[in-house]
Amino acid sequence: MENKGFKILIHASTWFAPILVPIITYFIISDREIKSLSLQALVFHIVIGILISVSAFFSWILIGIPFLIIFGLIAIIAPIVGIVKAFNERPFRYPIIGSWF
């Protein structure tokens, strides 16, 4: 039950501290599952941030707009799915990133 709150916090951090919360959680908590989830969330936020930035840059020539929409939706939907699964105490791994850790 204790891990449930940390999992929700890590997923929800996407809207208030996407880099800081996973780093702090990684160093404070000793549970391997939470550490893995923290690393997944951290890398996910960094990669999505880079993808959205590149897409926004290329949107001026219209090629980036579809990617901007897709990556923006992934950045919103993936943490929401993670929160719901953590609330129901079901495992969740971030898309693509989850297979690395």
Q: Could you tell me which residues come within 8 angstroms of residue 63 by beta carbon, excluding any fewer than 6 positions away?
A: none
38: domain range? 3-88
**Is 96 among the domain residues?**
no
Residue 26 is assigned to a structural domain of this protein: yes
Provide the residue-wise pLDDT of the chain in tens; the chain has 101 residues. Answer: 468 888 888 989 988 888 999 999 999 988 888 898 899 999 999 998 998 888 888 877 777 788 888 888 988 998 899 899 998 888 888 877 766 76
Tell me whether residue 17 is in a domain.
Answer: yes
User: Is there a domain that residue 93 lies in?
Assistant: no
> Is 9 among the domain residues?
yes
Domain tally, the chain: 1
